[in-house]
Amino acid sequence: MLSKIYQRLYAYFGPQHWWPADTPFEVMLGAILTQNTNWSNVEKAIYNLKANNLLDPFRLNKIPHKKLASLIRSTGYYNIKTKRLKEFLSFFLNLYKCDIGKMKRQDIGMLREQLLAIKGVGPETADSILLYALNKPIFVVDAYTKRIFTRHRLLEENANYAQVQNFFMQNLKNEVKLFNEFHALLVRLGKEFCLKNKPRCQKCPLK
DNA sequence: GACCAGGCACATC
DNA sequence: GATGTGCATGGT
């Protein structure tokens, strides 16, 4: 059933080419910056960081809070997100010496626990980093995913993150490519057809 | 001007 | 352990 849904979405929208970033490090920053925020707001912040030559963990770690906050202002919650970025950077530096390869070689379960231990990294952010920055096979659950599947009565209204994630991972092949594209397609579907304030959608391609 | 967007931590009951 | 609240900009 899930793979049927995936096929239909893929046929309708085509490949989504996620995550929109040049490097794994940029994915990780974007994952924090996009928390409860429109992606277009994140693009502006990433642009600012790039323009200031700060898409580098060592340089980014050194700049003062105020400076970083002003650069990511467009993403909202900029004081909190500045702290979260700093928390993430010290994790990245201390445990992995800012070495993506070293992270990729780490066991996925261990890595997920380490990411979740960072203040400001919850399940969705951790899983986005695992899947989209490190190519680890894990399904990312977000607000759209829940909304789409509860509206189609395929999930309980009160299902928690782990339950939704299990629902996908137990019913799909354990493939990075599939998890990548499926989640991206669900976000695309959500943006275009499953908005919060439009509870009934006649044109939904899943119907 | 209200409502929402690719969450999360923390307080309080 | 469930429920509520603060965080904040930019687009519709």
User: pLDDT tens digits for A2-26?
Assistant: 999 999 999 999 999 999 999 999 9
Is residue A32 in a domain?
A: yes
Q: Is the pLDDT of residue A198 over 90?
A: no
User: Residue A201 falls within a domain, yes or no?
Assistant: no
The domain boundary, picked from A104, A133, A162, lies at A133
- Greater pLDDT, A194 or A162: A162
Are both A101 and A171 inside the same structural domain?
Answer: no
Do the domain assignments include residue A72?
Answer: yes
A80 part of a folded domain:
yes
Tell me whether residue A199 is in a domain. no
Number of domains forming the structure of chain A: 2
Measuring CA to CA, which residue among A147, A146, A145, A138 is closest to residue A115?
A138
What pLDDT is stored for residue A203 in this prediction?
80
A199: pLDDT strictly greater than 80: no
- Angstrom distance, A119 CA to B9 C1': 8
For residues A187 and A94, membership in a common domain is answered with no
Query: Which of A65, A99, A133 is the C-terminal boundary of a domain?
Result: A133
What is the average pLDDT value for chain A, to the nearest integer? 96
Residues A12 and A29 occupy one common structural domain: no
Count each helix (H run) and each strand (E run) in chain A, helices first.
12, 0
Q: Residue A197's pLDDT is what?
A: 76
- In terms of residue numbers, what domain contains A169? 2-16+139-193
Is A74 (CB) below 7 Å from strand C? Answer: yes
Looking at the fold, whether A148 and A58 belong to one and the same domain comes out as no
Closest nt to residue A36, judged CA to C1': B7
A114 touches strand B (CB under 7 A): no
Q: Are residues A29 and A129 in the same domain?
A: yes
Q: What is the CATH number of the domain that holds A54?
A: 1.10.340.30
